[in-house]
Amino acid sequence: MFRDELEQLGPMLTRKEAARYLTQRGLQVAPQTLARKFCEGTGPLCATVNARAMYFRRHLDDWFAEQVAAPRRSSSAPKRSLAELADG
């Protein structure tokens, strides 16, 4: 069962590859920033394989969506994430 779940999540990315992937999506982030955010508990979900940090693309996409603010007409309007809009 665990194996099926892993296959659904797809290939894993190293921290360096994850940072490059997020940067290509428009969120410039360094591998060191991902490491710090992992320690703080504020970054994307991260798994370890032989003590090496690895990321699933799906988890990176979910975290990226949380970082993107929804469009607004004024800077005085409250910020809402796209993820909040999707939840209703």
| pLDDT for 56 | 95
User: What domain count does the chain have?
Assistant: 1
Q: Which residue has the higher pLDDT, 3 or 46?
A: 46
pTM of the complete model: 0.78
- DSSP-derived 3-state class of residue 19: helix
Q: pLDDT by residue (tens digit) across 26-59?
A: 999 999 999 999 999 999 999 999 999 999 999 9
Residue 44 CA to residue 27 CA, distance in Å, equals: 13
Q: For strands 47-49 and 12-14, give the pairing.
A: unpaired
Per the structure, the complete domain to which residue 25 belongs is given by 2-87
Q: Which residue has the higher pLDDT, 8 or 68?
A: 68
| pLDDT for 1 | 44
Other Cβ atoms less than 10 A from the Cβ of 32: the count is 10
